[in-house]
Structure 1
Amino acid sequence: MTIKTAPYITSAIRKFEGMVLKDHKFTLPLDYADEAAGSIEVFAREVVSISKEHDESLPWMVFFQGGPGFPSPRPELNSGWVGEALKTHRLILLDQRGTGLSSRVLPQTLAKFQSPQEQAKYLTHFRADNIVRDAEAIRKTLAGENTKWVGVGQSYGGFCLLTYLSFYPEGLSGVAITGGVACVLRRAEDNYRLTYGKVLEKNREFYRRYPEHVEGVKKIVSYLSENEVTLPSGGRLSPRRFQALGLAFGMSSGFERIHYLIEKAFVEGPEGEELSYDFLVGVEQQHAFDTNPIFCILHESIYGEGYATNWTAERLREEFPEVAVDTEGPFIFTGEMISPTMLDDFANLRPFKECAELLAQKEDWGRLYDIEQLGQNTVPVAAISYYADMYVPVELSRETADHIPRFYQWVTNEWEHNGIGVDGPKILRTLLNKLEEI
């Protein structure tokens, strides 16, 4: 599929912290195979060092955020991995379609459709295949048809870059992936069986660090089982929603975040002990499934190629009896496992239960990867994979890396999945240097 340049406007130019930020909005097809289907807006922020603003020879870099369903970072300081990138590149921070300032997918915007079928049809256009097509259109428009750029992807952003390598490798001079080497040779079931195992390991580590929470967590779950608890936004705090707090366990400070939340769970109210208001607010702040509905409704579709994902993570729960809510052992928190129960527990997602079910049962998803093309890749790729990664299992990342030529994989246990946010300059510079050596 040939990608064309796109009409766009530059809506703002700002200078601060030694950076120049230019805001661009592009008008792009909703469906690249059917331009009659209408258009959407895609937002991208160009960031460059003030000292290099007019350097026409400065190479370009495009960043793909993790998720799916989250916008690109908003620079506040000329530091971290962004500051490192600006030393050598002109950076494009892409708000993937449906996120940030691109045509957003939110409860209000989905409510404009007349039926769940229309909602589902619309959302089928918000996967990596079209995200990459958007990026190609932006590259050709801003950088020029003959100018390649380096792609950098965190987590799901790495999945997107493997799609990019599959279908538009001519647009890339190199690829750097942090914690996002997808399992391109496997199905969703293979991924979730491994991630469930990783989650069990993380739970054991959590309770070793905080043994007092074995009983404390059970007390919370017992309270939630016996009482109808409504969160400040109107959602329900069920035992399953509480269980999903384990999503944080794969991040560098995740154990502490949940520990500090649990330790303030109860307070003495007018009728005795009850869950405290600040605890309930804290629980809400841990999850973005309703503020970023793509993260829930389209999550498992990132694995779907020609088959229905059919709530894979939920189906596999029975293979891991330890995660049952009523287990006799320590209560096990889950990770990045999307469940249809979320469409009941999150108030703003309830209207989209049927839409989510239609997407879960969709069998005719298109291709996300070209395995043959990846097997003859010529673009240098450098990736960091984390040995204990709870979301992107290193075992399957190794298989992918072995399949793709010119692929350097750095496997380490020095950081968790969010390593680029913890030690971004070191990680990015190492990967960029490797790209020059491959």
Structure 2
Amino acid sequence: MRSFRQTGTVVTDHRFPVPLDHDDPDGPRIEVFAREVVATAHAGRDDLPWLLFLQGGPGFGSPRPSGREGWLDRALADHRVLLLDQRGTGLSTPVSARRLAALGGPAEQARYLTHFRADSIVLDAELIRRELLGGTPWTILGQSYGGFCAHTYLSFAPEGVQQALVTGGTPGLAATPEDVYRRTYPRVAAKNARFYERYPDDVRLVRDIARRLAAHDERLPNGRRLTVEGFQSLGLMLGMGDGADRMHYLLELAFADGGPELSEPFLEQVGTHLSHTAAPIHLLLHEACYGQGANPTRWAAQRLRAEFPEFAPDPDGGDPLLFTGEMIYPWMVADDPSLAPLREVADLLAEHDDWPALYDPARLRGNDVPLVASVYHDDMYVDFDLSMETVASIGNARAWVTNEWEHDGLRVSGGRVLDRLIRMVRGEA
């Protein structure tokens, strides 16, 4: 273990060996990294309750703090916080095309990746909890995909949870990928409408960019060609509180050089937004977040896109060109130079037909662990109606419905979202 101090905190790094496959505890092992953070004033307290933070994604490491800031400041007032790098992310044993290649061919690589979903993440957390806390349960805080993981936790290891806090991450327990994307496309269209209402001059600018991309070979700094579909996928940012503004400021750079070519600053920033080099799991296992049982996902977002022709990558269409959102398409793997070697692996995962269950609806109906969730009414990424159906189906669960915040409310609210959830679970709100 390595400890260091930041402003107002003591930080300790932990590394835990865990089985790749928890059904084969004597088989291959990987490492999971987690960072313990405690307020300086509480550093010597052995009785301080623990809070496990489950990050959104999938495929992204936990936050890297700089002292007491944001929601972490509120959590540290009465908790010792563990920031978990879920398996395959951050400093946990990484997933990359290069490391996967050492495992063998595409079939072996795909088989390996089937062990990187919420069910395995929860079992990792239980091993870690027993090592750090013994038999004491902890509070879990799940943001976005981390909220999905929290529901998996309550389904299969509720004895490890004292109370569960969820922000923007209440899943449809039985929703298929098709169910999810049929609901997602209309929500993304609505976010596009709000964006263009705020920045009406961007309607023409977006069309001009798309026409340029359709007619010319514009390259990102990593050599990847920027296509109209790739450009549309920048809409992922529109679900954040400041997403429309950030999109506008990015677009205004497009022809900043004054010529017909797209400017280098624009292409550089677009390349950063589109790259999945640092988080390949986000592409490879995103649709698998919804996979349960014998139903393969088969690139659901791509298949269902035809049902929503308004999202066609047509630079000369009559309506505003629509950006897509958190949809994953097969060309995203093929077009990314760092991930192109994994295209066959991605296809195998899309055809995988033996996903274990992620939730136990019957057990959740009888749940007695206090569960509180912020459900964002206008959430672009997580369907409101599915979330409310799930909350209604779980024992001892309460929802706080708000449109004051977007999906990133936990991050941007300065601790107010987390404070509300803590007061709710204590019966104070």
TM-score normalised by structure 2 residue count:
0.97
Contact 1:238 1:345 (8 Å CA) reproduced: no
How far is 1:16 from its partner? 2.0
What SS does the corresponding residue of 2:330 show, helix, strand or coil?
A: coil
How far, CA to CA, are the matches of 1:267 and 1:46 in structure 2?
45
Match of 2:296 among 308, 320, 330: 308
Identity %: 49
Encode CA deviations 1:250-283: one digit per residue, 9 max, x unaligned.
Answer: 00111111111111102558xx520110000110
**Residue in 2 that maps onto 1:32:** 22
- Alignment of 1:402 onto 2:392: yes
**Residue in 1 that maps onto 2:401:** 411
How far is 1:349 from its partner? 1.2
Paired amino acid for 2:420: T
**Residue in 1 that maps onto 2:281:** 294
Superposition map of 1:106-185 within 5 A: 106-145=96-135, 147-185=136-174
How far, CA to CA, are the matches of 1:228 and 1:112 in structure 2?
34
How far is 1:32 from its partner? 0.6
Paired amino acid for 1:345: D
How far is 1:80 from its partner? 0.9
How far, CA to CA, are the matches of 1:89 and 1:430 in structure 2?
16
How far, CA to CA, are the matches of 1:285 and 1:167 in structure 2?
37
Contact 2:275 2:336 (8 Å CA) reproduced: no
What SS does the corresponding residue of 1:437 show, helix, strand or coil?
A: coil
- Alignment of 1:206 onto 2:200: no
- Alignment of 1:262 onto 2:251: yes
Which consecutive unaligned segments of at least 5 residues does structure 2 have? Answer: none
Paired amino acid for 1:88: D
**Residue in 2 that maps onto 1:322:** 310
**Residue in 1 that maps onto 2:62:** 72
Paired amino acid for 1:273: P
How far is 1:77 from its partner? 2.5
**Residue in 1 that maps onto 2:215:** 226
**Residue in 2 that maps onto 1:276:** 263
How far, CA to CA, are the matches of 1:119 and 1:54 in structure 2?
44
- After alignment, is 156-165 or 98-107 more displaced? 98-107
What SS does the corresponding residue of 1:273 show, helix, strand or coil?
A: coil
How far, CA to CA, are the matches of 1:385 and 1:356 in structure 2?
31
How far, CA to CA, are the matches of 1:222 and 1:91 in structure 2?
49
How far is 1:422 from its partner? 0.9
Which consecutive unaligned segments of at least 5 residues does structure 1 have? Answer: 1-9
- After alignment, is 228-237 or 147-156 more displaced? 228-237
How far, CA to CA, are the matches of 2:128 and 2:197 in structure 1?
49
How far is 1:412 from its partner? 0.6
Paired amino acid for 2:181: Y
- Runs (4+) off by over 3 Å: none
**Residue in 2 that maps onto 1:4:** none
Superposition map of 1:329-340 within 5 A: 329-340=319-330
How far, CA to CA, are the matches of 2:303 and 2:225 in structure 1?
22
Contact 2:138 2:160 (8 Å CA) reproduced: yes
How far, CA to CA, are the matches of 1:256 and 1:282 in structure 2?
15
Encode CA deviations 1:122-162: one digit per residue, 9 max, x unaligned.
Answer: 100000000000000000000112x1100001000000000
How far, CA to CA, are the matches of 1:171 and 1:330 in structure 2?
49
How far is 1:90 from its partner? 0.7
How far is 1:174 from its partner? 0.2
- Alignment of 1:250 onto 2:239: yes
Equivalences, count: 425
